[in-house]
Structure 1
Amino acid sequence: MKQSRPERRQGQAVVRGKLVPESTHDQRLLDRQGSTDWVHMDPWRVLRIQAEFVEGFGQLAELPPAVTVFGSARTPENAEDYQLGVDLGRALAEAGYAVITGGGPGVMEAANRGATEVDGAVSVGLGIELPFEQKMNDYVDLGIEFRYFFVRKTMFVKYSCGFIALPGGFGTLDELFEALTLVQTHKVTSFPVVLMGTSFWGGMVDWIKATLLGSGKIAAQDLDLMHLTDDVDDAVRIIADADAARREELRSVAAQPAEPQ
């Protein structure tokens, strides 16, 4: 006869044998001297993740059309890239766009700073919890701190009509190639990706052409997903043209008569 094992239902799950805990969730919740491990358990993380999505969607839903600017947090204020970020942030704001950055120092601060120089503009920072201290820069009108990179990345894409990448490190590369992948796979459409700084990005673009395209890892049309420039006005024009085309497409679809059922 099979030996009976202890059993307990936990929500939608059933646990038996050694998996049955010595105490219940209620006991651990109500025990003021109990372990705090529950804060770090995966089911609780799901709620935290959900809360971050809800908070992000709620705070950003009424933003005007926005553009996300990426770049290095290590860029000093006296660097050319910093001034480029200020000029870009100002130009985007003058064109009617909110400016979204990662909220940190360096190029991110510069773009936020440029946006605040325009009356009525909106400067947004989407920060991330990191092992080292990185506070929200002082030029952010709306700042949101996230625990999870993937939630933050969703906000960057959902509430932007384009990305502009200034010189940066691994974080900038991560965001850049994620954006290119989303456009390449048609997860997002009419979404321009602009690389500012031909001397910085040129070698990478040459490698993409020679190695990725040369070995058949990407298609020739994938090269058109990136726009390389040194000119702020050109970068803003690329964003604005794509935005106008997307709006026209939406108007065209909305104007079409509904098909009979």
Structure 2
Amino acid sequence: MTDHQPLSEVPRDAPSSPRTDRRQTGPVTLRGHNVPPTTTDQRLLETRQPTDWLHADPWRVMRIQSEFVEGFGTLSELGPAAAVFGSARMTADDPAYAMGVEVGRLLAEAGYAVITGGGPGAMEAANKGAFDADGTSVGLGIELPFETGLNEYVDLGINFRYFFARKVMFLKYSRGFIVLPGGFGTLDELFEAVTLAQTQKVTEFPVVLMGVAYWQGLLDWMRDTVLANGMINPTDLDRIIVTDDPHEAVRAIRTYEEPHA
């Protein structure tokens, strides 16, 4: 059966099943034929489109503004928090998933809210650890064509249409970043953080990579190629901490806080 099949042609004994195609767009949930073929970010960045669409850009600014207002209003009284990044594709039987659960638990026990992207995989792991420890488990979701909303361990969630608004919330309300193994999205968040620290757009804060074997190749390349060619300074690598120990990762966040207490 397809969404366009007339009801008269549906077999009487056909079992009913929930729709699996779903899109979270801001606070709105869309299913079935209501799911648009593109995301809000795609439509914003697309240049090959009718000019009447472009004339709506001033109105789009209002929507962007509303995302910032919603984010600031929701998170302004969150208190100390740390962000945990990682792959949405990570499965529950991956050792890094257990590492993420432990990181979330230890952060919550240390008095930090845990902020993730709110999705499955590594994000779910960190949210689960915080949730199980009775901490504050935050999810900052994003409208994507292949993800279906916030994971079940998020108890404070915001869904964003625009990546840039979401990134500001991570950077503004986190005291440090803990990065589990991940792909392009995780790398984007990692390099955004170290770039803003390098350029002093944000104050120095710890960036912890969890999974020495996973990250070692990247670190070797940055040292042997990027640093060796003078593209970065040695201090740019010094701000990155690498460990397999969740206790050490959380200790790095807490150590940064102590001189500022």
SS of the residue corresponding to residue 158 of structure 2 reads strand
Q: Which runs of structure 2 are paired with 1:154-169 in the superposition (5 Å)?
A: 154-169=168-183
Alpha-carbon contact 2:119-2:147 (below 8 Å) kept: no
Task: Report sequence identity in percent.
Answer: 65
Q: Which runs of 5+ in 2 are unaligned?
A: 1-51
Instruction: Please tell me whether the aligned partners of residues 99 and 123 of structure 1 are also in contact (alpha carbons under 8 angstroms).
Output: yes
Distance, in Å, in 2 between the alignment partners of 1:87 and 1:128 is 25
1:49 aligns with 2:64: yes
Work out which of the residue numbers 241, 245, 260 in structure 2 matches 1:231.
245
Q: 1:217 to 1:244 in 2, by over 3 A?
A: same
The within-5 A match list for 1:55-66 is 55-66=70-81
Contact 2:106 2:250 in 1 (8 A): yes
Counterpart pick for 2:131 among 104, 116, 133 = 116
Correspondent of 2:112 among 91, 97, 103: 97
Task: Please tell me the residue identity of whatever aligns with 1:74.
Answer: R
Aligned 8 A contact 1:166 1:197 in 2: yes
List runs of 5+ in structure 1 lacking aligned partners.
Answer: 1-36, 249-261
Deviations 1:81-104 (A, max 9, x none): 111110110011011100000000
C-alpha distance in structure 2 between counterparts of 1:235 and 1:136, whole Å:
25
Matched, 1:81 2:96: yes
Letter in 1 for 2:70: E
Corresponding position of 1:200? 214
**Cα RMSD, aligned residues only:** 1.3
Deviation, 1:216, is 0.2
Q: Which structure's relative contact order is higher, taking Cα pairs within 8 Å and 6+ residues apart?
A: 2
Residue 241 of structure 1 corresponds to 255
Shift of 1:189: 1.1
More displaced 10-residue stretch of structure 1: 99-108 or 235-244: 235-244
Give, in angstroms, the shift of residue 117 of structure 1: 1.2
Q: How far does residue 243 in structure 1 lie from its aligned partner after superposition?
A: 1.6
Structure 1's consecutive aligned runs of 4 or more residues displaced over 3 angstroms after TM superposition are 37-40
Deviation at 1:135, TM superposition (A): 1.6
SS of 1:130's partner is coil
Deviation at residue 38 of structure 1 after TM alignment: 6.6
Larger radius of gyration: 1
Q: Secondary structure at the match of 1:167?
A: coil
TM-score normalised to structure 1 length:
0.78
- Change in Cα spacing, 1:40 to 1:148, as seen in structure 2 (3 Å) is farther
Alignment partner, residue 32 of structure 1:
none
- Say how many residue pairs are matched: 210
- 1:148 corresponds, among 141, 147, 162, to 162
Instruction: Determine the structure 1 residue equivalent to 2:20.
Output: none
Kept in 1, the 8 Å contact 2:83–2:176? The answer is yes
Instruction: Tell whether the 8 Å contact from 1:63 to 1:98 is kept in structure 2 after alignment.
Output: yes
Residues 186/210 of structure 1: CA separation in 2 closer, same or farther (3 Å cut):
same
